[in-house]
Structures are given as structure tokens and as C-alpha cells.
Structure 1
Amino acid sequence: MSVLPQAAIAAASAAQATAVQLGQGVGAAASHLDTTHLLAVAAALGWASGMRLYAVVFLTGLAGWLGWVPLPPGLQMLQQPAVLWGAGVLMMVEFLADKIPWVDSAWDTVHTVIRIPAGAMLAAGALGADAGQWQFLAALMGGTLAATAHVAKATTRAAVNTSPEPFSNIGLSLLGDAAVPAFLWLSWQYPVALFVVLAVAIVVALALTVLLFKFVRGVFAVLRQKWGSGTARA
């Protein structure tokens, strides 16, 4: 056997060994995250999924793939290339759809049955299958937070869509785009601060949902009344 093939085989073996060591290192680092830190990650994943599910999947997987954060074992599938590509494409579609009035509301309506269970699954994955009752509680927390964020987002955007100008709609959409990576970053770097910010966000979301739901319901009631009057005259 010549020297070049032997060198190539040796290089490939070394690269494989390095990859295995890195993977073991990431898994070990993730397993050493304390419960508070893992719950912060689970909470951030749940809340952010209610706003931008595909951005959450893509950014979390990308951070793990690049080695920026040690993903827990239950989330390491997010860093697989196929998942990254799929989530990246859907993230761009969602980014564009969320900037168009009424298209964003239609998108939110369809994703009511997607974001909430996905938020629960991601939150449960943050704690892993070995966490027992903690994983179950994380799933409940993630699903609840995803539902709260989703309803607040959908209600707010539906109310803003009644305005004829598009700038407030785009501004709110960009704010949501920025909030997702901010929540994910806080959960990894400052988990206690994440809980404080999240508590404030929940209060604001509930207040907006109650206030704007009445407004949106009133607008649609007026529209139905006008539509009914027009149909009767016709």
C-alpha cells in the first residue's frame, strides 16, 4: 500500500475520532446543565415557538451545529442538516408571510394546531427522556407558554390589520423576529433573567389578548352587520 492512501486513511480516522470526542463533549456539557438552566431553555423554546416556530427550530439547531451551545440530547436532532434546511426554508416563508396584512392572520390561524404542540415537544426535549416528571411538567409549561404567545400574537396582529397603513404591521413583525433570538440567548446565558423577562411578557400578552380581543370582535361584528345590510338591500 502506498504512502498516500495510508495517510488518507489515517487522516480520516483522526477526523472521525475528533468528531466522536466533540459529540461526547457536547453531550456531557449538556448533561451537566442544572435544572434551572434546562427549565429556562424549555420555557424560552415554548414561548418563542408560539411566535416563530420555524425560527426557533432553525436557530436552536444552528447554534448546536456550530458549537455555540451544548444542546441537550433531546434537542440534538435539531442540528441535523436535513432539519436545518427544512426549518430554514420554512423560516423564510414565515418571515415573508408575517409581513403581509391578513396573510399573517391566515398563517397564524393555520399554525394554531402546529405551534402549541411543537412548543410542548421542544420544551420536553430540553429536559430529555430521562427527566421523568420534569419532562412532563416541561411539556405542559412549553405548550401553555406557546399557546399564550400565539394567541397574543394572533390577536394583536388581527387588530393591527384593521389599520389601512402597513407600517405598524411590519414594525410588529420585525419586533417579533428580534424577540425570538433574544429569548433563546437569554435562556442560555442568563436563565434567571429569562424568567423575569418572561413573567413581564406573559402579563403584557394576557393584557393585550383581553383588550384587543374585544376590539377585534367589535370590528368583525360591525363588518358582519354592514355585510348583512348590503346583502339585504341587494
Structure 2
Amino acid sequence: MEIIAKLGSLFGLSFISGINLYATVAVVGFCSKFNLVHGLPPELSVLGNDVVIFIAVFLYLLEFFADKIPGLDTLWDSIHTLIRPLGGAMLAVMQVGEASPALEVIVFMLGASLASAAHITKAGTRLIVNTSPEPFSNILISLGEDVGAVGFAYLCLAHPVLSFFLTLVCLGIILLVMPLIFRTLRMLFSAVFFRIKCFFAKDTPWAMSRFLPFSWNTFWEEQKGNKERLVWTGPAYAVRVPGIRRFTPLRVVITSTAIHLLYKRWFRLQKHFLSLDEVEEQKRFPGALLSRWLLRTSRGDWLFSLYQPLSKTLPEDLRANPRSEADAVTR
């Protein structure tokens, strides 16, 4: 049990420093200076220094206000991409005391990894939340992080055994949500790069909507019907599509008879098929970087995210004459 308690403090403080390093250092400093928790590793007593506490609290207050402003919080997280993992590694190494160089290197890597996992999850989640037009969700999540960081840091010192198991639970949750976060971040960064590309080449959306890339064309030629004619094509991301994971990158192909969704899963090309006869209504909801494309079908609502400039080239009437509709859209 003593080993678990030691690991609980070591792992827990490293992990939560990836969420808020300065709050973690401040909590450890206060607990050490005022003896709020007994039996702390003597190596952590340096954090009880008045100067260390003052700087930690000052930086925490800066982060507290910066973290509530959409955009500025992303910049702050970007700056701390190296700072938080290094801080987590430092807190881990400080707790092992006199140890062999090999053990210190192992603990350093573990502390940095735990802090990095927490930091990536925090930064990715906040970037996703910032896509919402209202600021309140960003503020609420930030306040939750502040309370959670202070509370979890104290828990790691006062109840290290419990913090050990809670850290394992948090890591398990991160493993489950990390693929979704990476897919979402890829979508957002791709939308930014596409917007920049359109700034330098105005005809990019038109050209992209007319032709399939070579990597998809061979697969498409094998899948399409004999009488199908391409009306529109473009990259998209599944927001709510039956059988497809959220924010999976797709290649949408609209033909004279159907809508085909081409995508990769486990390195294999896959296809979803939706007949135009099943489409009851389509709507487009413009956004700054990404637009939402809603298809009301007999199988339920299908929702996609499209690059905003590309969404303007979508056919207004999916059942219109393919060639004349496509030409009208591009004009």
C-alpha cells in the first residue's frame, strides 16, 4: 500500500500539472508551508518557499483570466506545450529523492508522459469547445478545470492511494476519447489550411468539386453504376452518420442517382450509399471555417461538416440535371 501511495502522489501530481501546472505547484507549496498535509516528501519542501508560491500564484492568476477568453486560451495552451510536460516531469523526479540515475530517467519520462497526455486532452477539448459561437461553455469548462486542478492536487497529497486509482481512471478515459480528439483537431486544422489555400487560389473550391483525386478515383470507378454521372464531389467530415465514427474524414460523391460516402477504416477503403430517392430535404448552415450540411432522409438525419468555401459549390437541387446544375453552382 505504501508503494501505491507513493505512486499516487507521483503520478497524480504529474498528471494534473498537464491541466494546470501553476495551480498544482501553488497547492503543493501552500500544503508544505502551512503543514496542511503531513508526511509530504521532504524534496517538495522547496515549493513552500515564499518566492516560489508567489510566482506560482501570479502565473496561475494570469492563466485563470487567459483561459476564459476563446482564442487566447488556445495561444496559452500552445505556449505551454513544453512547459507543462517538463513541469510534470520535474514534480515526479523531485519525489523520488535519492535514486539511481536510471530510476530518475524512468520517472522523468513517466511524469512527462502523464502531463503530456493531460495537456493534449485539455488543449484539444478547449479547441473543440471554441468552435461554439457562445462563450459560456468555454468559461464553464475553464472554471471546472480550475476547481479540478486545485482539488486533485490536494487529493494527491492528502489521499495518494485514492489519487492513484483516479489517475488510472482518467488515463483510461483519455485513451477512449483521444481518437475523437485527434480526428476533430485534424478537421479543424485542415479547414484552416483549406481557407488559406483558397485565399491564394480562388478557384480551389470549384476545381475540387469537379474531380476526384487520383487516390480515390480508382476505387470510385469500381463502385459506381454504369449510368451514374458525377455531379459534385468534395471532402467532408461525418458529424452524425449511421455506421460512421464522428468526425471521420470522408469523400462525398454526388451523382445523378445517389450520394456515395467514401472513407478509410483500418486502412481499408469503405463506402456508404444513399439513394437520392431517400433524400427528403437538404439544408446548409454556414460557419466561419466549417459549414454544416444536413440531409433529412427516410433513414434519419445525416449531418456533415464541409469546408466553408467548398460548401458554397453544393448543388441546390440534388435531383436537377447534373451538368447544368454543376455549371450553375460554379458560376
* Stretch moving more, 138-147 or 53-62: 138-147
Q: More relative contact order in 1 or in 2 (CA 8 Å, sep 6+)?
A: 1
In the alignment, the residues of structure 1 paired with residue 104 and residue 8 of structure 2 have an alpha-carbon distance, to the nearest angstrom, of 13
More strand by percentage: 2
Q: Provide TM-score, normalisation by structure 2.
A: 0.57
Corresponding residue of 1:182: 151
Residue 91 (structure 2) pairs with residue 122 (structure 1): yes
In the alignment, the residues of structure 1 paired with residue 109 and residue 196 of structure 2 have an alpha-carbon distance, to the nearest angstrom, of 42
In the alignment, the residues of structure 2 paired with residue 227 and residue 132 of structure 1 have an alpha-carbon distance, to the nearest angstrom, of 48
Correspondence for 1:173 among 131, 142, 155:
142
Code of the aligned partner of 2:116: A
Residue 29 (structure 2) pairs with residue 57 (structure 1): no
1:230 Cα deviation from its structure 2 partner: 3.8
SS of 1:61's equivalent? helix
In the alignment, the residues of structure 2 paired with residue 117 and residue 164 of structure 1 have an alpha-carbon distance, to the nearest angstrom, of 33
Asked whether the equivalents of residues 156 and 208 of structure 1 are also in contact (C-alpha less than 8 Å), the reply is: no
Corresponding residue of 1:46: 14
Asked whether the equivalents of residues 74 and 129 of structure 1 are also in contact (C-alpha less than 8 Å), the reply is: no
Identity %: 36
Residue 112 (structure 2) pairs with residue 138 (structure 1): no
Code of the aligned partner of 1:185: Y
Structure with max Cα Rg: 2
SS of 2:170's equivalent? helix
* Stretch moving more, 168-177 or 208-217: 208-217
1:131 Cα deviation from its structure 2 partner: 6.8
SS of 1:67's equivalent? coil
Residue 183 (structure 2) pairs with residue 228 (structure 1): no
SS of 2:201's equivalent? helix
Q: For each residue in 1:54-83, what CA deviation from the matched residue of structure 2 results, as whole angstroms up to 9, or x when unmatched?
A: 111111001110111243122111000110
Corresponding residue of 1:5: none
Correspondence for 1:101 among 70, 95, 106:
70
Q: Where do 1:70-85 residues align within 5 Å?
A: 70=38, 71-85=40-54
Code of the aligned partner of 2:192: L
More helix by percentage: 1
Q: For each residue in 1:80-101, what CA deviation from the matched residue of structure 2 results, as whole angstroms up to 9, or x when unmatched?
A: 0110111110010011111111
SS of 2:35's equivalent? coil
Corresponding residue of 1:25: none
Corresponding residue of 2:168: 199
1:129 Cα deviation from its structure 2 partner: 2.5
Residue 118 (structure 2) pairs with residue 149 (structure 1): yes
* Stretch moving more, 43-52 or 127-136: 127-136
Aligned residues, how many? 202
Code of the aligned partner of 2:21: L
Residue 233 to residue 40, structure 1, CA distance change in 2 (3 Å): same
Residue 68 (structure 2) pairs with residue 68 (structure 1): no
Code of the aligned partner of 1:42: L
Code of the aligned partner of 2:150: P
In the alignment, the residues of structure 1 paired with residue 192 and residue 108 of structure 2 have an alpha-carbon distance, to the nearest angstrom, of 39
Q: For each residue in 1:32-51, what CA deviation from the matched residue of structure 2 results, as whole angstroms up to 9, or x when unmatched?
A: x9433222111111001101
* Stretch moving more, 77-86 or 132-141: 132-141
Q: Provide TM-score, normalisation by structure 1.
A: 0.79
- Gaps spanning 5+ residues in structure 2: where? 204-331
- RMSD across aligned C-alpha pairs, in angstroms? 2.1
Corresponding residue of 1:13: none
Residue 190 to residue 133, structure 1, CA distance change in 2 (3 Å): farther
Asked whether the equivalents of residues 148 and 206 of structure 1 are also in contact (C-alpha less than 8 Å), the reply is: no
Asked whether the equivalents of residues 37 and 158 of structure 2 are also in contact (C-alpha less than 8 Å), the reply is: no
Corresponding residue of 2:128: 159
Residue 5 (structure 2) pairs with residue 37 (structure 1): yes
